[in-house]
Amino acid sequence: MSNNPSTRTNCLFATILLLLLFLSGEIIAQSKTGTISGEVRDAVTKQPLPGANIMIEGTKIGSACDESGYFAIKNVAPGRYTIRASMIGYLSSVITELNINPNRNHSINFELNSAAMEIEEVNVTADYFAKPEDNPVSFRTISPDEIRRSPGSAEDIFRVMQSLPGVATAGAKSAQLIVRGGSSDENLTLLDGIEVYNPIHFARTGESMGVISIVNPALLQKVDFLTGGFPVKYGDKMSSVFDMSLRDGNKEVFNTDANLNIAGFGVMLDGPLFENSNMILSLRRGFFDLITSTLKRPVAPSYYDAVGKITYDLDNKNKISLVGFYYIDQIERTGTEKEETSNWNRYDYLTRDDYGAAFGINWRSLISDNAFTLTTLSYTSNGWNTLQGTETEPSLMGEDIRENELSLKSELNYKLSTKFNLKIGGQLKSINSDNESWTPADTTRKGTIIPANTILYQPDATTKAALFMQSSFRIFDPLIVTAGLRYDYFALTSENNFSPRISLSYNITDKTIFNLAYGKYYQSPASYQIAPDERNLFLKSSYAIHYIAGIEQRLNHDTKASIEIYHKELSNLFVDPDSSNLLLNTGSGYAQGIEFAIQKKFTEGFVGSASYSYSISKRRDYESLALYDFEHDRPHILNLLFGLEVGAGWQIGAKFQYASGNPYTPVTGVTEIDNIFYVIDGEKNSARYPDYHKLDIRIDKQFIFESWSFSLYLDLWNVYNRDNVSSYSFKADTNGELTSTPRYDLGITPILGFTAKF
């Protein structure tokens, strides 16, 4: 028993969780009030802003920043507040819905943008919807509180994003993001500058499944989500960027959270370490396997994750942070457990481990009053292994896949004048991968014989390199233009790619903004795509060209409406021509659509948003063939969301989602080969599943005690128990009769969670 990896992992996580809880009980001080602290910096140069004013709106309580841009507001009564940061010459910034709990420090940071003109209305409209100059289109920032109270998400960041414009839900069983008709593997995910290859538990590269994020949302300072037209510092992905920023641990007192939700049991600790340093750490363990084991039911998968950050201020100009994460997902099934796959009908033994880890160092240096550098050195390791067979022969088929990457990237940001910013950077990666898999001979459901196959792919370490340069400038005050060029080199396929990108933002009035963007985006083949056949080394990168135009209208200081149209031209897509392991670059297609959205930030006890998207996503495998609907084509998507504070610590929220059904390839008949009946597929993706829709409701209640607080929520998914079809299983029986069995998404599902804050 002691040699079992799962047992060792259980013991390690249990020991650390108990240690953190013990430490939190020893180090917290008893107090009925809370503290707010943090930093205020220039959004472009990252310089501290001494003298900036921080006020709690509706009160006379506030503070001013010291020479390092740091502030602390102490003895704040428990409650929910709006915090405003302001300074002459800058647009003010607001953080809404900041919950103050007793005996805790609440760490928040502000980045203020320079005011192009001193007009009161401009300051007001910039409060709630500020964004970087080089991201004028398809950009949304999400705060931790928006994640926390979003119905139907169970406090998971990826499920929150599924209700944003241009994003299609993959169903309640999956947290994957389907952005503007693309695949989930076309999305770039970053955590404090470190690339995360599988950010969701049980979501292997190239698959569309996935349960829950590996990152505890309470760790996050913010999340920037770019669904298109992103600038040149982001590369090697075609659809979107999901950029998560971890918050620093606070510098005042130790905070401890204990929580339970869909992600499992967890403990989070943040606070000062030693002089000029702080830390934040989260540990979580899934609990479904414990429940099923206790009930003597088939054991559910188990999973764990750990994410942490240590920050140290070397001096007023230099700051380093150590960031790391680790996760492991484990499945073990034996005996007569039933699984809805053809393989499981023949193989009654399965073990599967998915894992990922990363460690990185970020160094931010303020090299002058108008310039700073950000350098990131990171090491990541990702992989999975599977054995499947019988109890007597457990390894009839299997795989052992691993990829390690060492990365160094750096960028220089230089504000040459009030009207001209320059960004220059580069990245170098060393990649080492192994891919070993083996399968026995098989016959597909259409009667095609697949011979036994073994893959052993162990190439020498290869490299990727990138350089980029970008400038943002104001031709005149209402007009901002950002132009950039990116160069990527991939040694394994001997590629050199250049990606020009440009965006324009024009303030028609102080409340109306017109935006344009164009860009080219390459995505190189992944090792799991190259590995099955040595001829795949001749693959070239796929690429997309984005065209985007939109208008934003500020309806109020806390409400914004927008319309955006986009067109993505896709080329060099990977195609499997004969169901073998050979891939070709013969695919092409396009995705285009229009998105309408209105968003109201949380003020005066109410928050809400509504969005509607109409889109088309088409692909073809060869230029000579007709276009077909891509598997993620969902023409109509509607999302309605609202939240209301009803007093006495109660909040309620609701979310309604509607989407057209995904395309699928229907079965049109049955054929007989050697006295065995097989199905006949119809035209590719020529049918659609029924439309998808559901209503989710969330109820929150917070209890505040003298020295701690307790929050409880009920997140009720699919309230009216809609049978949303996720797929059909087609089968020909021994008499040649064709049967179709629907597989459904989750029915009505209650999710209960709580958080205790000490």
The answer to whether the beta carbons of residues 97 and 65 sit under 8 Å apart is: no
How much of the chain exceeds pLDDT 70, in percent?
89
Mean pLDDT, residues 633-653: 91
Reduce the DSSP state of residue 457 to 3 states and report it.
strand
Alpha-carbon Rg of the chain, whole angstroms?
Answer: 26
Half-sphere exposure of 695 (CA within 13 A, CB side): 7
Tell which phi-psi region holds residue 54, choosing left (phi > 0), alpha (psi between -120 and 50) or beta. Answer: beta
| Calpha distance 171→175 (Å, rounded) | 8
- Strands 187-191 and 240-246 come out as parallel
Q: How confident is the model at residue 589 (pLDDT cuts 50, 70, 90)?
A: very high
pLDDT of residue 117: 47
* The token pair that represents 209 in the structure block: 């499944």
Mean pLDDT, residues 335-360: 69
pLDDT of residue 128: 75
| Calpha distance 578→396 (Å, rounded) | 24
In this predicted structure, the answer to whether residue 503 has a pLDDT above a threshold of 90 is yes
pLDDT of residue 22: 47
Q: Report the chain's mean pLDDT, rounded to a whole number.
A: 85
pLDDT of residue 116: 61
| Calpha distance 679→667 (Å, rounded) | 7
Beta-carbon neighbour count of residue 127 at 10 Å? 20
pLDDT for 300-334, tens place per residue?
Answer: 678 889 999 999 999 989 999 999 999 998 888 77
Q: Residues 182, 186, 191, 197: is their CA dihedral positive or negative? A: positive
Q: What is the DSSP string of 278-340?
A: EEEEEEEE--HHHHHHHTTSPPPPEEEEEEEEEEEE-SSSEEEEEEEEEEEEEEEEETT---S
pLDDT for 278-293, tens place per residue?
Answer: 999 999 988 766 665 6
pLDDT for 733-745, tens place per residue?
Answer: 878 888 888 999 8
Residue 644: CB partners within 8 Å, gap ≥ 6? 605, 606, 607, 651, 652, 653
pLDDT of residue 587: 93
Angle (CA) 714-718-719 rounded to 5° is 70
In this predicted structure, the answer to whether residue 3 has a pLDDT above a threshold of 50 is no
11 — phi, psi (to 5°)?
Answer: -65, -45
The answer to whether the beta carbons of residues 380 and 402 sit under 8 Å apart is: no
pLDDT of residue 24: 44
Total number of residues shown for the chain: 758
Domains and CATH numbers, the chain: 5-17+139-757 (2.40.170.20), 31-125 (2.60.40.1120)
Strands (DSSP E) contained in 143-239 are: 167-168, 178-179, 187-191, 194-195, 220-226
Q: Residues 223, 662, 586, 188: what is their CA dihedral angle, to the nearest 10 degrees?
A: 10
The answer to whether the beta carbons of residues 749 and 736 sit under 8 Å apart is: no
pLDDT of residue 197: 87
Strand ordering across the sheet containing 70-76: 70-76, 34-42, 105-112
Predicted TM-score (pTM) of the model is 0.87
pLDDT of residue 448: 67
Numbers of helices and strands, H then E, in the chain: 7, 46
